[in-house]
Amino acid sequence: MAGINNREIAMETLIEILENKQFSHIYLKAVLDKYSYLEKNERAFITRLVNGTVERMLQLDFIINSYSKTKVKKMKPLIRTIMRMAAFEIYYMDSVPDSATCNEYVKLAKKRGFAGLSGFVNGVLRTISREKGKLEIKDLSVKYSMPQWIVDKWTSDYGKDKTEAILSGFLMPEELCIRVNLAKISREDLVHKLEGQGISIRICDTLPSACYISNYDSLNSIPEFNQGLFYVQDYSSQMVPYKADVKATDLVIDVCAAPGGKALHVGEIANDGQVIARDLTDAKVAIIQENIQRTGADNVTAQRWDATEFDPDSENKFDVVIADLPCSGLGIIRKKPDIKYNQTEEALQELVKLQSDILDNVCKYVKAGGTLCYSTCTINKDENENQVENILGSHSQFSVVEQVQLLPDENHDGFYICVMKKN
């Protein structure tokens, strides 16, 4: 479309995510790749506007509904999207004055064929701007834009105060966590190389492989990323090989490995051992294989296998079994904010059953004296502690060595790890 501007790009992206249920992290990346010729600050504006609007959607709808006779659900999709974006920009962005923001969205409505509604858009947005900050929002679901059933579940599991801390944690700004490929470069040398390009780095003092980076253009513009000298991997995910106490000569299997971050990390540590990285589809295996090649992990092998199917050739074979299983993903809402709107209680129960089926199989792959490391990127007890209790009930030869439940904060996502030993 001729003359498309940054807000219009963000609007089109949000319509796909919020109206057509595209995955936010995948679709936004594709959009940013398409418009890679834009300046860094322009792409940052689009990213902030898209992610922020998705992240705060329930609160934005409450704000709009407080001042509009036509409720958000009754609006046409394009107008609904414009109103949400504008409300987010008025409340949470200060790149331009509110009056200019209102003008831009009125012009956008006209450009997209809704000149007849431009007066409505203008009137509601100027009221929102004028009344900004006067609404008192006490309801946790609205205040933190989290569906009520999730708030209720976490309140039951953790209590009201801890639930509010969790919800607040999801809205904290986040730096990108990377894992240094210590098989190829020291952390100090990588830091020196990245800082030489003007990239800001914060070193993690609790994991030897982790750093946080910011103030970069795009990953593909960083030579060291393309050379496999570092890998994007959250702090909590990087903990897994350390908690599993992987040894240099271990034989390890990662049963749901894509995109391969944990398997590659294990391969670095088990440098005289072997790692098998499995996943369900050819497409996922291809992603693992691509990352193996980029990072030079020649002791890691990618295989296609359905983890719900028992593999007799793997029985009692492995020193360490990594089972980072499909889950609700409700610990990584900050990275994938649309998850909270698309997940359901029914789907969650189906995932609990899937996890149980996989764990029942992969327990049998652990050799005597070996380790099973179960992890999820969620904070739901049904998928975590309660799941482990069920497994221990049906596989009495296992005992828990350590359980860790990380809650979201400025350093990491919500994540669960349980290390079990086969006696």
CA dihedral of residues 388, 393, 395, 398 (deg, nearest 10):
60
Of 207, 232, 257, which closes a domain?
232
The pLDDT assigned to 133 comes to 87
Radius of gyration of the chain (CA): 23
Instruction: Report the domain count for the chain.
Output: 4
> 41 in a domain, yes or no?
yes
The pLDDT assigned to 411 comes to 85
Q: Are residues 351 and 282 in the same domain?
A: yes
Reported as a single tens digit per residue, the pLDDT across 249-304 is 999 999 999 999 999 999 999 999 999 999 999 999 999 999 999 888 999 999 99
> What is the extent of the structural domain holding 84?
6-137
The pLDDT assigned to 3 comes to 62
The pLDDT assigned to 1 comes to 43
What contacts 11, CB < 8 A, 6 or more positions away? 78, 81, 82, 85, 108
- Mean pLDDT (the chain, rounded): 95
Residue, of 286 and 133, whose pLDDT is higher: 286
Classify strands 415-422 and 366-376 as parallel, antiparallel or unpaired: antiparallel
Whether 180 and 190 have beta carbons less than 8 Å apart is answered as yes
Which spans in 253-328 are helix H? 261-269, 282-295
Distance CA 225, CA 202 (A): 17
Q: Are residues 78 and 120 in the same domain?
A: yes
Does residue 9 register a pLDDT over 90?
yes
377 tagged catalytic = yes
Reported as a single tens digit per residue, the pLDDT across 218-231 is 898 999 999 999 99
Q: Are residues 189 and 150 in the same domain?
A: no
> 1 in a domain, yes or no?
no
> Cα–Cα distances in Å, from 209 out to 181, 186, 204, 223, 265?
7, 9, 8, 19, 9
From the list 102, 373, 377, 418, the catalytic residue is 377
User: 209 φ, ψ to 5°?
Assistant: -105, -5
Reported as a single tens digit per residue, the pLDDT across 374-416 is 999 999 999 999 999 999 999 999 999 999 999 998 888 999 9
What contacts 243, CB < 8 A, 6 or more positions away? 373, 402, 404, 417, 419
pTM, two decimals, is 0.92
DSSP state string for 275-290? EEEEESSHHHHHHHHH
Within a 10 A sphere around the Cβ of 270, how many other Cβ atoms?
22
Tokens of 406: 């990380």
Over range 18-43, report the average pLDDT. 94
Q: Are residues 355 and 246 in the same domain?
A: yes
